[in-house]
């Protein structure tokens, strides 16, 4: 399993061990069947300082971990170096259906950045209340403390301007729920020199673009599309099937309502859901008339 004990050492106050993981063999599952498609080569460019010295910054709704200063700003260079003092931010986007390991991947990357001495903070939408507001939690129970906010534009103020300035890396989970994702990511990377790691659903249950996740692809250094396992046949799953007849786009839920599926089972499953909805609507119309 990925280093829960190391996570505990890193985040001693908040990390808790996974309880009754839904997929106990997740690590074996992940390593035996690598499930991601790299659209672009993921650049091994994150530069890590040699000696990490983390200190937690506690805020009203969540912690950040910080070093002394944001190293993303290049020091003034030699004369003629036109890049001197421009921020060297980055944006990395992780997409895929539910259960594909997006949160797990985000958590790993943030953990790795932190272990390498960079100051990190993670934010998720406060719409997702599934596991409480103070942490992001994977479907198999790994946890990381985070900020829960309605808008990314509140992040700087919530953290405190000084703490924000010291941050190197910002992780964003459930990115599909943030309407101001584009402006936040652009400013954080271009103006403030942050490395921004974004995880979210590229498509909703109808396989339509979800929120602003796809809008930030033109801003991104890298885009990774993860896949899950089709719950009906075990093949690679690219889509999320909603098992109920609820039609609103945003519906916070887990495996009770959604399942990852391959193309074939998306098409057949969606046909069943739609046929069922038609029958239910028809019979409720009959009841109203009668
Ligand atoms: N059908 C499935 N395919 C793959 N993983 C699944 C499935 N159902 C549950 N899981 C679990 O979900 C974990 C991924 O959780 P998570 O990182 O929270 O995914 P995401 O953020 O993409 O929804 C996997 O490690 C696995 O244990
Ligand atoms: C497909 C789909 C999903 N959602 C919700 C359901 C969950 O609360 C999140 C996704 O969580 P995960 O970390 O990716 O597993 O999004 C939704 O509101 N609408 C949809 O169409
Ligand atoms: Zn299938």
Quickly list DSSP for 76-102: P-STT-TTTT-B--EEEEEE-STTSSH
Looking at the CA of 269, name the nearest ligand. Answer: 3
**Residue 30 Cα: closest atom of ligand 1:** 25
CA nearest ligand 2 atom 5, residue:
252
Contact call for residues 193 and 182 (beta carbons, < 8 A): no
Q: In this structure, how many other beta carbons lie within 10 angstroms of the beta carbon of residue 260?
A: 24
Considering every ligand atom shown, identify the ligand nearest to the alpha carbon of residue 265 and give its number.
Answer: 3
Q: Quick one: pLDDT at residue 30?
A: 31
Catalytic residues: 174
Instruction: Please tell me which residue, 284 or 144, carries the higher pLDDT value.
Output: 144
- What pLDDT, on the 0 to 100 scale, is given for residue 288? 76
Interval 187-223: pLDDT, tens: 999 999 999 999 999 999 999 999 999 999 999 999 9
Supply the ipTM of this predicted assembly. 0.98
Pocket test for ligand 1, best of 2, 21, 93, 139 (most atoms within 8 A of CB): 139
Q: Is the pLDDT of residue 79 over 60?
A: no
């Amino acid at each position: 399993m990925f280093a829960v004990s190391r996570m505990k050492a890193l985040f001693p106050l908040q990390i808790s061990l996974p309880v009754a993981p839904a997929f106990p063999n997740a690590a074996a599952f992940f390593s035996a069947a690598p499930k991601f498609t790299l659209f672009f080569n993921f650049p091994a460019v994150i530069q890590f300082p040699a000696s990490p010295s983390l200190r937690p910054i506690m805020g009203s709704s969540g912690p950040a971990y910080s070093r002394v200063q944001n190293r993303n700003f290049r020091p003034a260079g030699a004369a003629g170096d036109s890049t001197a003092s421009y921020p060297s931010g980055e944006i990395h986007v992780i997409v895929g259906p539910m259960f594909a390991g997006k949160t797990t991947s985000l958590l790993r990357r943030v953990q790795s950045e932190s272990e390498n001495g960079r100051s990190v903070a993670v934010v998720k939408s406060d719409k997702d209340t599934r596991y409480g507001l103070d942490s992001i939690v994977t479907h198999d129970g790994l946890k990381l403390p985070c900020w829960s906010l309605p808008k990314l534009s509140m992040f700087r103020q919530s953290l405190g301007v000084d703490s924000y300035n010291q941050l190197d890396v910002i992780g964003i989970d459930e990115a599909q729920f943030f309407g101001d994702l584009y402006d936040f990511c652009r400013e954080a990377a271009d103006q403030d020199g942050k490395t921004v790691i974004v995880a979210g659903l590229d498509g909703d249950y109808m396989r339509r673009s979800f929120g602003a996740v796809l809008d930030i692809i033109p801003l991104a250094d890298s885009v990774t599309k993860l896949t899950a396992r089709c719950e009906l046949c075990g093949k690679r799953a690219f889509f999320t099937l909603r098992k109920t007849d609820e039609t609103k786009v945003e519906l916070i839920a887990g495996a009770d309502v959604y399942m990852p599926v391959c193309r074939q089972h998306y098409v057949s499953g969606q046909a069943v859901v739609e046929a069922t909805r038609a029958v239910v609507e028809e019979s409720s119309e009959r009841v109203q008339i009668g």
